[in-house]
Amino acid sequence: MAQMFYDDDADLSVIQGKKVAVIGYGSQGHAHALNLRDSGVDVRVGLAEGSKSRAKAEAEGLTVRTVAEAVKEADLVVILTPDQVQRKVYADDIKPNLKEGAALLFGHGFNIRFDYIKPEATSDVLMVAPKGPGHLVRREYVDGRGVPVLLAVEQDPSGTAWDLAQSYAKAIGGLRAGGIKTTFTEETETDLFGEQAVLCGGASQLVQYGFETLTEAGYQPEIAYFEVLHELKLIVDLMVEGGIAKQRWSVSDTAEYGDYVSGPLVIDPSVKENMAAVLADIKNGAFAKRFIEDQDAGAPEFKALREKGAQHPIESTGKDLRKLMSWIKDSDNDYVEGSAA
């Protein structure tokens, strides 16, 4: 059983006694900065000159500085820019300005696990990774609750890194829900595996194949869309509430029987072998290398794959059908350019 941390295990005064710089004000950055401030922590936000996020942070009354200025003042630097730019931000603006003995905190272990950032031996290196998007991290905090977090310590020269990690996790509301002790290696490898094999990669491909199979057999795309994409949410909600067992309990006996007999035909043991190959490429760094090299070259592969995905016929079918559903807002479709922030 995993080791858990809750509010009573952590001392808020540890983080309240530090000057904290949150670098980046996107999904996670805004939530961490605002929750820290509301927990009585001395926080400033570090952003690049001309950053689009600056106005949003200032509108909340937060102090915004350049990354270099924010880092110079800080006892704890929280690195919440996108993973693919962290290496450059660290080399250019964080490392040269970091106070002797200042600690580093990450929301995901990617750059430490794959050695893109190699902190000085004098820095504590911690992770507090919420298991939810930043907007939920902020909303739950405001409502007096929290999103569960993962905690890890990679370097602990001060001997106090765990106290700081727990105090930080409490300040962003994570220990109201609960914190799970992990390592940078476990968090990074399982996070990448989950999103590639099941949540994003696996689910997207499964839905596309389902849609293609039905439409190629002559069924109408609108009908196929409802059966293989739209209803997925209902199924996933049931799984989140009560596991696969609740999903099977809730659907018809016909659907439940079909689950047992046809599921293993579609997702056969070869899929598990493919998953093991994906995990191997995560663990040996091949995936990280391919991602970062492509990003460094201006992301030609990434952009081409994104464009190809957007051209799949399920997308245009869905765009029209979603207009029929009043509970899906037009603004839910404002994702077309780039990624969420």
The residue (of 55 and 267) whose beta carbon lies closer to ligand NDP is: 55
Work out the number of other CB atoms within 10 angstroms of the CB of residue 253. 8
For residue 25, the partner it binds in Mg ion, ligand NDP, none, with Cβ less than 5 to 8 A by kind, is ligand NDP
Token pair of 188 as six digits: 């990074």
Closest distance of CB 88 from ligand NDP, Å: 6
Token pair of 229 as six digits: 């994409």
* Residues forming the site for ligand NDP (CB under 6 A): 23-29, 47-48, 51-53, 67, 80-83, 85, 89, 107-108, 129-130, 133-134, 341
Closest distance of CB 150 from Mg ion, Å: 12
* 204 has binding-site annotation: no
Within 163-202, the residues that bind Mg ion by CB under 5 A are 191, 195
For residue 125, the partner it binds in ligand NDP, Mg ion, none, with Cβ less than 5 to 8 A by kind, is none
The residue (of 195 and 320) whose beta carbon lies closer to Mg ion is: 195
Widest Cα–Cα separation across the chain: 67
Which residues are annotated as catalytic? Answer: 108
Closest distance of CB 18 from Mg ion, Å: 27
The residue (of 91 and 266) whose beta carbon lies closer to ligand NDP is: 91
Distance CA 45, CA 96 (A): 18
For residue 140, the partner it binds in Mg ion, ligand NDP, none, with Cβ less than 5 to 8 A by kind, is none
Name the E strands within the chain.
Answer: 4-5, 19-23, 42-46, 63-65, 76-79, 103-106, 125-130, 149-155, 179-181
Q: Does 140 bind Mg ion (CB under 5 A)?
A: no
Element (H, E) at 239: helix 232-250
For residue 26, the partner it binds in Mg ion, ligand NDP, none, with Cβ less than 5 to 8 A by kind, is ligand NDP
* 50 has binding-site annotation: no
Closest among 91, 138, 103 to 19, alpha carbons compared: 103
Q: How far is CA 16 from the centre of its chain?
A: 26
* 158 has binding-site annotation: no
Distance CA 341, CA 337 (A): 11
* 146 has binding-site annotation: no
Please say whether the beta carbons of 180 and 2 come within 8 A. yes
Side-chain-facing half-sphere of 213: CA atoms under 13 Å = 9
Closest distance of CB 210 from Mg ion, Å: 12
* 167 has binding-site annotation: no
Q: Which residues bind Mg ion (CB under 5 A)?
A: 191, 195
